[in-house]
């Protein structure tokens, strides 16, 4: 039996949080809420969850790309892996095309 005040690991606990957001962001959240028939709070939670998941996916992609770069021994493949790593860090347009190649 659990001690008083401890929640079951099966239940999801919620935290009530008050935040101030910029007006432009509030307009976008309201648009999402209306489109998906959600409350503002539900839309905010959904968008925050998507952001957290996107951040985790980007971090995982960076780790995979870094691992590939570090493990590559062929110079051509290592160069390509290095370019992929740079794109993972700085974005897909981080490397200008070399016109001399």
Per-residue pLDDT of 40-87, as tens digits, reads 999 999 999 999 999 999 999 999 999 999 999 999 999 999 999 998
Residues 6+ apart with CB under 8 A from 21: 29
How far does CA 57 lie from the centroid of its chain?
Answer: 6
Element (H or E) spanning 82, and its range? helix 75-90
pTM over 0.85: no
Per-residue pLDDT of 3-32, as tens digits, reads 555 555 566 788 888 989 999 999 999 999
The helix/strand/coil state of 2 is: coil
């Amino acid at each position: 039996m659990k001690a008083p005040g401890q929640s079951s690991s099966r239940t999801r606990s919620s935290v009530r949080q008050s935040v101030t957001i910029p007006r432009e962001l509030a307009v976008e959240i309201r648009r999402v809420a209306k489109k998906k028939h959600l409350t503002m709070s539900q839309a905010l939670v959904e968008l925050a969850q998507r952001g957290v998941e996107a951040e985790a996916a980007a971090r995982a992609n960076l780790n995979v790309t870094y691992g590939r770069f570090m493990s590559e021994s062929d110079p051509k493949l290592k160069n390509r892996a290095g370019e992929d790593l740079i794109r993972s860090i700085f974005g897909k347009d981080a490397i200008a095309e070399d016109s001399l190649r």
